[in-house]
Amino acid sequence: MFRARFRRREGNGRRFLHPPPCFGALVLAGLALPCNARAHDAPAEEVSEGHAAPDDEGAETEIVVTGERRPRAASAIVRDRRLLGAAPQSTGSELLRTVPGVFVSQHGGQGKAHQIFFRGFDAVHGQDLEIWVAGAPVNEIGNVHGQGYADLHFLMPEVVRRIEALPGTYDPSQGDFAVAGTMRFALGYDVPGTTVRASHGSFDTQRLFLAYHPEGASPETFGAFELFDSAGFGVGRAAQRASAIAQLVHPVADDLQLRLMASSYAGSFGAAGVLRQRDVDRGVLDRFDAYHGGQGGRSTRTQLVASLLHDDGATELELTPYVVLRTLSLSYDYTGFLVNPELGDTTRQHNDSVAVGTRARYRQRVKVFRADDAVEVGLAARNDWIDQSQRYQDHGGRPFATLIDARLRTSTLGAYVDAELHPIRRLLVRGGVRADVASFAVHDRLAPTPHRESQGAFLGEKLVADWAITPHLHGIASWGRGFRTPQARGVADGTRIPFTEVRSAELGLRWKEGPQEASVAAYATDLTDDVVFDERVGRNEAVPGTRRLGVAAHLETTLGWFASGLGATLTRAAFREAGGRFEAGQLVPYVPQLVVRADLAARPILGTWAGRTVRAHFGIGMQGLVRRPLPYGEFGRDALVTDLRLGVRRAQLELTLDVRNLLGVSWNEGEFVYASHFDSGAPTSLIPARHITAGEPRSALLSAALYF
C-alpha cells in the first residue's frame, strides 16, 4: 500500500496545499492510478482520501491518500466488506469461502480448525496455507494434530475489514506454509458508537455480539465481544465459544503510527466423528447420528500484537512484535475397534504452545529507471515452546496407551530483499530472494534417547513481470520457490531439516476498469514431497512428491448498492512418483478438482418511514464442489450449497435473517475411504469402506441489532 500526504494551511482567506519533499516521486507513483491512461499502468486496487476536520485560522490539516500496490499474480485478490458480509458466515474461516478457489469444511466439530482447500491443495487445517491476522501468525508449528494447524474460531466475521489472498509463492514476504498461498486478514469495525446484536435460530443456536467504535476514529480502532452457544445439528455437535478483540490505532507523531491488538478466546465443542456410508444407507444410523459420544475438544487462544509504522511516502519502516498463547485438546475416533478390539481406538491429543516473534520491513524508493522504483528488505523471527501428547483412551475417557509425549522448542528466522523496477514504460519487474533457517530441539519422553536437535536452511527466489497491455489490461507472469517445514518430532538427531521445496509458476491476464475487475490465470505447482491426512492415525502422513496444474478465474463488479463476485478454480493434483499406497499419476485424495463460488449483495434504499431511511439487504452465497478424488479410485459426491441473507434497517434498528443451505441439499462435508470396525461384536474386516461426515442441513438464524 502506498500513501501520499498533503498538508493544508488556511490563512488570510486563502488555502494552500503544501506537498511533502517526496512529492515528485509520489506523483510518478501516481501514474498507476486510472486518471493517467498514457502510462499504461494498472489502476490502483483502492484509493481513498482521509477526512480533514475544519481547522482554526492558520492551522494545518492533513489529507492522506492511500492505494493498493499492483498484485504479484494475476489471480491475487482482495475481498472487502462489500462481499465478506454478503452471505451468512459464522467464523473467520468461513469468510475464506468468498475467495475464489477456496472451499472450507468442518468435519471435526464447531471448534476444531476448518479443513481448507485452495488451488488444488488440501491444506487440512493449514499445512499449505500461510494465514496472518492483524500481524500475528495463525499457523502453529509442530502442532500434534498437524503441522501448520490454523484455528480461526477466535475471529468474528464482523470485524474483518479485508482479506488479501496471495496465491502461490511469488512474494518474498511469504514464509513457512505458503505453499498454496497466503491469506492476510485486516481487522476493523466502522459502525460508529455501540452495536448490540442478539441472534437465535435453529438447533437452539444463540449468539450475542457487542462492538464499540469511537465516532471519528479510524475504523481500525474498535472493541468487540462474541458469545456463541448451539446444540448443533445432530448428535454430539454442541458448541460454545467466547471471544474478545480490541484494537487501537494511534498516531504517535508525523508519519508515525502505533497499532495495538489484543484478543482472547475460549471454546469447547463436541464432534460426531465419521459414519460408514453403508450403515447410513441401510438405516442402521441416521446421517446426523454418531457411533458414540466422548468426541470433541477444547481450544483457547490469547494474543498481543504491536505494530509501529513509519510512512512518509518515500520510505516505509514497520516493526511488528507478537506473542500468542494456544491450547488445544481433541478426542476423536475414526476406526472404532480396528486397532484396539477391546478398549477402542478413541484418541486424545493435547497441545500447549507459546509463540513469540517479530516481523520488520524497510522500503525505500530508489531511482534506477524511474522515481517510483523501490527496494524492500525484511526479516522475521519466531520461537515456539510446545508441550504435546497423544494417547488412546476408552469410551469412559480413561487413557490406556501413550503414543506421543514430547516437549519441543523451535526457532525460525527469515530475511528477504525485494526490488520493484520499471525498466521500460509498460513493464514492471519485481524480484527478490528469501533465506530461512529453522532449528528444532525435541525432548521425546518415550524415546530411549529422548533429546534430539536439528537445523536446516532454505533459499527461495521470486520473480514477477507485469506488462501493461492497455491502461486496464495487464499480463502477469509469476514464478517462485517456497518451502514448508516438517514436523519437528519426525526429524532425526543431528540431521539437516528436510524442507519441502515448492516450485510455483503462474501466467495470466488481469483487467480492471472502474468498479469492475476480472482475471484468468493458468498455474503449476510442484512439491518435492507432500503430506496427506491419514484417518487411521488422525494426522498428516508423508507421501511422495505431487504436482498441481490448474486454471483460476474471477469476475467482480461493484456498482453503487450492488456487488458481486464470481470465481472458479479447476485443478488436477496428482503424484509425480510412486510411494507407499500411492502410484505415480494417481490423483491426490480429497482435493476437489472444481470449486466454484458466487457472492451477490444488494443493499438498496427502499424508501422512508416516519422520516427515516429504510435500507434493505439481500445477499446470496453459492458454493459448488465437483469431483473429490478419494483413495482407491473412488470419488466423493458433488455438492452445491446456497446460503441466503435478508435484512432491513431503519435508523438504529436492524433485523437480519440468515438461512444456511437454503435448498436443503443433503451433502457431505467430508468423505473418506479406509478400513474401520465400529461393531465390536462383528468379525473384523480390513476391506476399505466409505465414511462420511454430514454437511449442515437447512438452518435459520434471526438477528436483531441495535446501534447507538
Pairwise CA distance, residues 323 & 304, whole Å: 5
Q: Does residue 72 lie within any of the structural domains?
A: no
User: What number is the average pLDDT over the span 547-575?
Assistant: 96
Q: Are residues 63 and 81 in the same domain?
A: no
The arithmetic mean of pLDDT across residues 448-457, rounded, is: 95
| 7 in a structural domain | yes
Q: Mean pLDDT throughout 394-398? A: 89
The confidence score (pLDDT) of residue 582 equals: 86
Say yes or no: 576 and 503 in one domain: yes
More confident residue, 5 or 383: 383
Cα–Cα distance measured from residue 82 to residue 71, given in angstroms and rounded to the nearest whole number: 20
Q: What angle do CA 172, 458, 179 make, to 5 degrees?
A: 55
Residue carrying the nine cell digits 524480484: 431
- The per-residue pLDDT for 14 is 34
pLDDT in tens, 340-364: 999 999 999 999 999 999 999 999 9
Q: Do 51 and 94 lie in a common domain?
A: no
Going by C-alpha positions, the residue among 305, 272, 302, 307 that lies closest to residue 290 is 272
Q: Give the burial class of 251: count Cβ atoms within 10 A of its Cβ; 0-12 exposed, 13-18 middle, 19 or more buried.
A: exposed
Indicate if 392 and 495 belong to the same structural domain: yes
Owning domain of residue 60: 2-67
Question: Judging by beta carbons within 10 Å of its beta carbon (0-12, 13-18, 19+), is residue 235 exposed, middle or buried?
Answer: middle
641 and 695 Cβ atoms separated by less than 8 Å: yes
Average pLDDT over residues 612-634: 94
Q: Does residue 135 form part of some domain?
A: yes
Q: What are the φ/ψ torsions at residue 71 (nearest 5 degrees)?
A: -70, 160
Give the residue among 525, 421, 522 at the shortest CA–CA distance from 475: 522
Taking alpha carbons only, the member of 148, 110, 104, 97 closest to residue 126 is: 148
Q: pLDDT at position 542, please?
A: 81
Q: How many helices (H) and strands (E) does the chain have?
A: 4, 40
Strand order across the beta sheet in which 102-105 lies: 102-105, 115-118, 121-122
Please check the confidence at residue 16 and state whether its pLDDT lies above 90. Answer: no
- Do 41 and 84 lie in one domain? The reply is no
Backbone angles phi, psi at 158, to 5 degrees: -65, -25
**What is the reported pTM?**
0.89
Using the 3D structure, point to which of 67, 91, 119 is the last residue of a domain: 67
pLDDT of residue 1: 52
Same domain, yes or no: 324 and 251: yes
Mean pLDDT of 624-653: 94
The answer to whether residues 381 and 500 belong to one domain is yes
Number of residues written out for the chain: 708
Per the DSSP assignment, residues forming a β-bridge with 617 are 647
pLDDT of residue 124: 75
Percent of the chain scoring above 70 in pLDDT:
89
Taking residues 568-585, what's their average pLDDT? 91
| One domain for residues 360 and 336 | yes
pLDDT in tens, 292-333: 988 999 999 999 999 999 999 899 999 999 999 999 999 999
E strand spans, 231-369:
239-253, 256-270, 275-276, 296-311, 315-332, 347-365
Instruction: List own/partner pairs for 246-251 with CB under 8 A and 24 or more apart.
Output: 246/222, 247/134, 247/187, 247/188, 247/220, 247/221, 247/222, 247/223, 248/221, 249/217, 249/218, 249/220, 249/221, 250/221
461-486: pLDDT as tens digits: 999 999 999 999 999 999 999 999 99
CA nearest to 308, candidates 255, 373, 363: 255
Half-sphere exposure for 643 (CA within 13 Å, toward CB): 26
Report the pLDDT averaged over residues 17-23.
37
Looking at the domain assignment, is residue 293 inside a domain?
yes
Mean pLDDT of 607-622: 95
- Is 300 exposed, middle or buried, given 0-12, 13-18 or 19+ CB atoms closer than 10 A? middle
For residues 548 and 443, state if they share a domain: yes
Q: Dihedrals φ, ψ of 380, to 5°?
A: -145, 140
> Band of the pLDDT at 24, cuts 50, 70, 90?
very low
Contacts of 319 (CB under 8 A, 6+ apart): 307, 308, 358, 359, 360
Q: Distance between CA 398 and CA 171 in Å, rounded?
A: 48
CA proximity to 105, closest of 125, 129, 127, 133: 125
In this model, does residue 21 exceed pLDDT 60? no
Q: Which of 681, 531, 576, 671 is nearest to 147 (CA)?
A: 531
Position 69 scores a pLDDT of 80
Query: What is the mean pLDDT of the segment spanning 21-43?
Result: 34
Let me know: does 131 contact 154? Beta carbons within 8 Å. no
Q: Which residue has the higher pLDDT, 39 or 690?
A: 690
Average pLDDT rounded to a whole number, residues 363-376: 96
pLDDT band at 99; cut points 50, 70, 90: very high
Q: Do the domain assignments include residue 537?
A: yes
- Say which residues have a Cβ less than 8 Å from residue 630's Cβ, sequence separation at least 6: 589, 590, 636, 671, 672, 673, 690
- Measured in whole angstroms, the distance separating CA 318 from the mean position of its chain's CA atoms is 22
Helix (H, G, I), strand (E, B) or coil at 616: strand
Question: Which CATH number covers residue 396?
Answer: 2.40.170.20
Q: In sequence order, what DSSP letters do the residues of 621-662 get, joined into one string?
A: EEEEEE-EE-GGG-EEPPEEEEEEEEEEEETTEEEEEEEEST
Residues 572 and 601 sit within 8 Å (Cβ to Cβ): no
Does 141 share its domain with 63? no
Grid cell in block for residue 602: 444488494
From the list 605, 625, 608, 626, the residue with the least C-alpha distance to 616 is 605
- Tell me how many domains the chain contains: 2
Q: Which residue has the higher pLDDT, 256 or 541?
A: 256
Same domain membership, residue 311 and residue 234:
yes
Residue 587 within a domain: yes
Any idea what the Cα angle at residue 52 is, between residues 12 and 247, rounded to 5°?
150
Cα gap 585→575, rounded to integer Å:
5
HEC per residue, 568-585: EEEEEEEECCCECCECCC
The strand pair at 129-133 and 181-187 is best described as: parallel
Q: Which residues contact 137 (CB under 8 A, 6 or more apart)?
A: 130, 131, 322, 324, 355, 357, 382
Q: How confident is the model at residue 41 (pLDDT cuts 50, 70, 90)?
A: very low
pLDDT digits (tens, 9 = 90+) for 121-178: 987 788 999 999 999 999 999 999 989 999 999 999 999 999 999 999 999 999 999 9
**Secondary structure (H, E, C), 532-582:** EEECCCCEEEEEEEEEEEEEEEEEEEEECCEEEEEEEEEEEEEECCCECCE
pLDDT tens-digit profile of 675-685? 999 998 889 98
Backbone angles phi, psi at 356, to 5 degrees: -130, 130
Instruction: Decide: helix, strand or coil at residue 169.
Output: coil
- Single residue among 48, 67, 86 that ends a domain in this structure: 67
* Mean pLDDT along residues 201-211: 98
With CA atoms as reference, report the closest residue to 165 among 83, 223, 87: 83
Q: How far apart are CA 580 and CA 603, in angstroms?
A: 54
Question: What is the per-residue pLDDT for 395?
Answer: 87
Confidence of residue 536 (pLDDT cuts 50, 70, 90): low
Give the model confidence (pLDDT) of 687-696 as tens digits.
999 999 999 9
Residue 76 reports pLDDT greater than 70? yes
283 CB-contact burial (10 Å; exposed 0-12 / middle 13-18 / buried 19+): exposed
Residue 551: pLDDT band with limits 50, 70, 90: very high
Give the integer Cα–Cα distance in Å for 501 and 499. 6
Which residues are within 8 A (CB) of 404 and not within 5 positions of it... i.e. 6 or more apart? 144, 349, 388, 389, 390, 446, 489
pLDDT at res. 126: 85
Residue 239 and residue 92 share a domain? yes
H or E segment to which residue 481 belongs: strand 473-484
159: helix, strand or coil: helix
C-alpha cell at 468: 501493461
Whole-angstrom distance, CA of residue 163 vs CA of residue 691:
34
**By the 8 A CB rule, do 269 and 296 touch?**
yes
